[in-house]
Amino acid sequence: MVASGAEGSVYRTSYLGRRAMVKIRSPKQYRIPELDRRIRSQRIRAEARLIREARSAGIRTPIIYDVDTKECSITMEDVDGMTVKAYLDQHPEDAERVCRLIGTDIARLHNSKICHGDLTTSNMILTKDSRLCLIDFSMGASLIGVEDMGVDIRLLERAFYSAHPTIKNAFGDFIDAYCRTKTDSKQVMDKVQEIKDRGRYT
Ligand SMILES: Nc1ncnc2c1ncn2[C@@H]1O[C@H](COP(=O)(O)OP(=O)(O)OP(=O)(O)O)[C@@H](O)[C@H]1O
Ligand SMILES: [Mg+2]
């Protein structure tokens, strides 16, 4: 087992001789079994769809090998590398470059009207050839508007500084790279400010 969370677990496996990862949504005892099956199966399909859509938009995501709607699992490529969280813990001096990679990728994702929904440095893998790969689209959505984009960015800012409290100013590099690639980036930046103000006064 690689990870175990509230919603399920991730295991190493193999698929047709390739190294693979399987992500399984485990049953929830408090739900009526039939409803539980439907919810888990719907969520795993939605996650697989977003991983594919993001990939079609030119963002590196794991290749999906199989989606099992009965077991509620996704079998996907085991991306060779380390999470951005682990990488930045070892190489904080490289934060500016990595934040720029993240900014460009999230801008591309948003240009395709997809939000990730859970942007943390544990949901990104830095590959051996120094490319960024986005994983864990379980909270994502497509056909989104500027509000969801703003929430994505605000959540990443909070997650970034709580995971990497000693890395200063890196978020500015993220924003700079994001704005260079995102169309109508001012709208998103205004929305981020609005979300912050909301948090401050309510
Ligand atoms: N395709 C993959 N290749 C390599 N490592 C992966 C892959 N998928 C997941 N991992 C590893 O497993 C961890 C957990 O995976 P993921 O983020 O998808 O699950 P989760 O956070 O438990 O899920 P959820 O938020 O949907 O409950 C990741 O942080 C990463 O270290
Ligand atoms: Mg995760």
Give the CA angle between residues 18, 23, 26 to the nearest 5°. 145
Domain that residue 33 falls in = 3-77
pLDDT level of residue 10 (50, 70, 90 thresholds):
very high
Give the span between the Cα atoms of 8 and 11, in whole angstroms.
Answer: 10
Q: What is the pLDDT of residue 6?
A: 79
120 lines ligand 1 (CB under 6 A): no
Which residue, of 25, 46, 77, is where some domain finishes?
77
Q: What is the pLDDT of residue 200?
A: 80
Q: What is the CATH number of the domain that holds 195?
A: 1.10.510.10
pLDDT level of residue 202 (50, 70, 90 thresholds):
low
pLDDT averaged over every residue in the chain: 96
Distance from the CA of 52 to the center of ligand 2, in angstroms? 17
- How many structural domains comprise the chain? 2
Sheet of 18-25: strands edge to edge? 3-4, 8-15, 18-25, 73-77, 64-68
End-to-end CA distance of the chain: 41
Give the span between the Cα atoms of 154 and 151, in whole angstroms.
Answer: 5
State the catalytic residue, choosing from 118, 176, 190, 197: 118
26 and 52, same domain (yes or no): yes
Q: What is the CATH number of the domain that holds 64?
A: 3.30.200.20
pLDDT digits (tens, 9 = 90+) for 20-75: 999 999 999 999 999 999 999 999 999 999 999 999 999 999 999 999 999 999 99
